[in-house]
């Protein structure tokens, strides 16, 4: 309890509260603007937070993460252009409700269900993180190696066009993480005589390039695209009776979203789609889905915000990112000198509870911001992209240089952006690459330590029951998407 109080006291400082509120505001704005995303905003902000207090910096990013997930529903409802991938499912009924003359009601349902889903996950996060960390403290290098391999295998199930592409992107991320001097042997790898590469490629310029520059190049093709837009005069909260009728959907989606979020690499997009599908499956009127149904809004919104909170559990307790965005938060923790994983709980528990408090504050804050500024955010969608994206480009240049005051990092950012652009065009998502980049060092370090302990005999790894369990889960994780594809191909087609 003392650590909980200390964490909340840290947040009560005026500067920290302002930064968290600023993170919420930026998150909602970024989520509301089509093309921008929370990962992009966090990647751009990361180099500017080096001089900030670590607690305030990480808390601001966590708040931005929560608010950005909700912000995507604004454009999904008003212009049928999800501001964030998790809001794709929300657009199916949210936009139809807005077209039916109830944009304020649709936004109100999205806001309240997002808050309830987020709070549900945060409560689970508060109790589950220390318990998971206690278990992880009993792990040795072999168990952590098995865990990190299992986390990488989950990339096959990430949202994207292809499981194979996700695994290839993750493998490339692992490869990039090995560039530089191997700490155990002192061997220089893949530096091609470039002095700057001996210390490895820094996270921040790569993240800015993949999430900001690549999206800038992609969006440049749609500068003059026209979309149907509508404004909401006010966000209208659902009545108590309406919430009571939707409580089953909200609770079910919140639980499902939290569970999906805790699984490494799954994230909010998968949770939102599953939340929508389950809401339809349990609905008494499934035929109304797609016509402006309230259940079709609260299902995915409760699920994707619950997943945001759930994804923080493995990120903080195990050092395993629960999603692409939490991979960036994990990189920020490393940048500020923290050790993500069970030692984070034992050495700096006040930071964990400060993050918990920031996410709780963020959920109530974006509800208030939505109530007060629904009309403003509906006008934000009118900002021309020809003004928006040059600003992103400038921030990308400044941020990549400011991280370590090196022009080399600017080149890394630009090259990463170009590679990311062509990767997106060919169906490769940046999220699996980032997960591989973050987890690569853990895989290599734990494997090296394990080989030293077992005198280079890999078969001795199987003396650990936990390692065997993770290997079995890895095989299941890798095979599940492919069995699903095989079943869909073998399924008999309906006779016309």
pLDDT higher than threshold 60 for residue 494 = no
What pLDDT does residue 264 have? Answer: 67
**Distance (Å, rounded) from C-alpha 312 to C-alpha 496?**
48
Question: What's the chain's Rg over C-alpha atoms?
Answer: 22
Condensed to tens digits (0 to 9), the pLDDT of residues 92-101 reads 888 888 888 8
pLDDT higher than threshold 80 for residue 254 = yes
C-alpha to C-alpha distances, 52 to 46, 133, 208, 409, nearest whole angstrom: 10, 27, 19, 21
Structure token pair of residue 217? 């190049």
Buried b (16+ CB within 10 A) or exposed e, 265-292: bbbbbbbbbbbbbbbbeebeeeebbeeb
Of 40-49, 135-144, 198-207, 480-489, where does mean pLDDT reach its minimum? 480-489
What pLDDT does residue 375 have? Answer: 62
pLDDT higher than threshold 80 for residue 211 = no
What pLDDT does residue 251 have? Answer: 92
Of 139-143, 317-321, 453-457, where does mean pLDDT reach its minimum? 317-321
| Residue range 239-265: mean pLDDT, rounded | 85
| Residue range 197-204: mean pLDDT, rounded | 81
Condensed to tens digits (0 to 9), the pLDDT of residues 354-392 reads 888 888 888 888 777 766 665 666 666 666 666 767 777
pLDDT higher than threshold 60 for residue 223 = no
Question: In which band, very low, low, confident or very high, does the pLDDT at 267 lie, cut at 50, 70 and 90?
Answer: low
Q: What is the pTM of this model?
A: 0.74
pLDDT higher than threshold 70 for residue 249 = yes
Question: In which band, very low, low, confident or very high, does the pLDDT at 143 lie, cut at 50, 70 and 90?
Answer: confident
Contact 176, 440 (CB under 8 A): yes
């Amino acid at each position: 309890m003392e650590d909980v109080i200390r964490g909340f006291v840290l947040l009560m400082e005026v500067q920290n509260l302002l930064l968290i509120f600023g993170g919420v505001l930026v998150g909602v704005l970024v989520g509301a603007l089509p093309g921008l995303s929370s990962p992009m905003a966090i990647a751009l902000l990361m180099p500017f937070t080096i001089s900030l207090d670590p607690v305030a910096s990480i808390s601001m990013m966590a708040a931005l993460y929560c608010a950005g997930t909700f912000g995507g529903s604004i454009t999904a409802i008003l212009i049928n252009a999800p501001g964030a991938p998790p809001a794709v499912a929300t657009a199916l009924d949210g936009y139809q409700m807005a077209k039916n003359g109830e944009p304020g009601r649709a936004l109100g349902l999205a806001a309240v269900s997002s808050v309830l889903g987020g709070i549900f996950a945060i409560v689970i996060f508060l109790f589950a993180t220390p318990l998971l960390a206690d278990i992880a403290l009993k792990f040795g290098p072999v168990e952590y190696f098995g865990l990190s391999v299992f986390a990488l295998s989950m990339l096959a199930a990430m949202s994207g066009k292809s499981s194979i592409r996700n695994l290839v992107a993750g493998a490339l991320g692992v490869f990039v993480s090995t560039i530089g001097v191997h700490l155990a042997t002192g061997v220089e790898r893949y530096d091609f005589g470039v002095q700057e590469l001996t210390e490895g490629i820094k996270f921040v310029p790569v993240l800015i390039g993949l999430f900001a520059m690549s999206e800038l190049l992609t969006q440049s093709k749609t500068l003059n695209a026209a979309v149907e837009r509508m404004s909401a005069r006010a966000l209208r909260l659902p009545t108590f009776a309406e919430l009571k009728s939707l409580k089953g959907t909200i609770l079910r989606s919140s639980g499902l979203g939290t569970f999906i979020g805790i699984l490494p690499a799954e994230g909010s997009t998968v949770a939102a789609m599953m939340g929508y599908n389950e809401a339809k499956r349990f609905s008494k009127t499934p035929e109304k889905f797609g016509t402006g149904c309230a259940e079709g809004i609260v299902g995915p919104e409760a699920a994707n915000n619950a997943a945001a909170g759930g994804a923080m559990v493995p990120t903080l307790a195990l050092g395993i990112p629960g999603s692409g965005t939490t991979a960036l938060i994990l990189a920020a923790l490393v940048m500020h000198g923290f050790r993500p994983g069970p030692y984070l709980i034992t050495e700096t528990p006040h930071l964990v509870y400060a993050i918990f408090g920031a996410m709780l504050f963020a959920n109530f804050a974006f509800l208030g911001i939505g109530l007060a500024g629904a009309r403003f955010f509906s006008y934000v969608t009118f900002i021309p992209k020809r003004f928006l994206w040059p600003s992103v480009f400038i921030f990308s240049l400044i941020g990549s240089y400011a991280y370590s005051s090196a022009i080399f990092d600017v080149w890394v950012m630009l090259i990463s952006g170009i590679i990311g652009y062509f990767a997106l065009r060919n169906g490769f998502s940046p999220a699996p690459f980032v997960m591989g980049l973050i987890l690569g060092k853990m895989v290599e370090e734990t494997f090296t330590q394990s080989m030293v302990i077992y005198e280079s005999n890999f078969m001795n790894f199987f003396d650990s029951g936990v390692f065997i369990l993770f290997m079995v889960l890895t095989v299941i994780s890798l095979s599940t998407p492919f069995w699903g594809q095989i079943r869909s191909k073998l399924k008999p087609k309906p006779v016309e």
